[in-house]
Amino acid sequence: MTAPLLAAGTWTVSDSRTRVTFSVGNLGTQAHGSVACSWGELRLDAEGCPAAVRAEMDLNSLDTGIARRDADLRKPRLLDIDRHPTMVWTAERFTPRDDGSWTAEGVLSVRGTSAPLTVTGAAETDGPWLRVRATGELDRRSVGIRAPSILIGRTVRIEVDAWLTPSLP
């Protein structure tokens, strides 16, 4: 990348505009859901490129549209939300891609364990906002979620549509 995308500094996630969604195979179909991003921050380096990110998701906001499924996901054998209500993703290694997007190698911490999670994302400005869209895939077994794959697919696809504003000094 030759020209800065944005000025160096820290950008803060707008929790009211940001969406974190997921999908996973479920009994031969795809189950979809969402969780709220309760806090997040992106730090840009002197060239306007990503240098660090941290996002916290409130698992108490989990919503798949089916109350029974949501209750099952809260249980200790799956997300164990009563003991671990927050999921955190951090990254400090970013690799620019030819199309202007980045690959971010990070760590996802959920249900008391951590696992690598690499996402690909791109940013664009929209007035005073910075919009970042990112996708990644997680093997649920890497965070200790065990279930027959016919019931719950191994791969969870995660999509983020984050809206950020410059942090106040």
Please check whether the domain covering 9-166 is classified as CATH 2.40.128.110. yes
Give pLDDT tens digits for 119-140. Answer: 999 999 888 899 999 999 999 9
- Give percent above pLDDT 70 in the chain: 96
Residue 147 CB contacts under 8 Å (≥ 6 apart), including other chains? 77, 78, 140
Distances (CA, A) of 115 to 49, 70, 159: 24, 23, 17
| CA–CA gap between residue 14 and residue 80 (Å, rounded) | 26
**pTM of the full structure:** 0.91
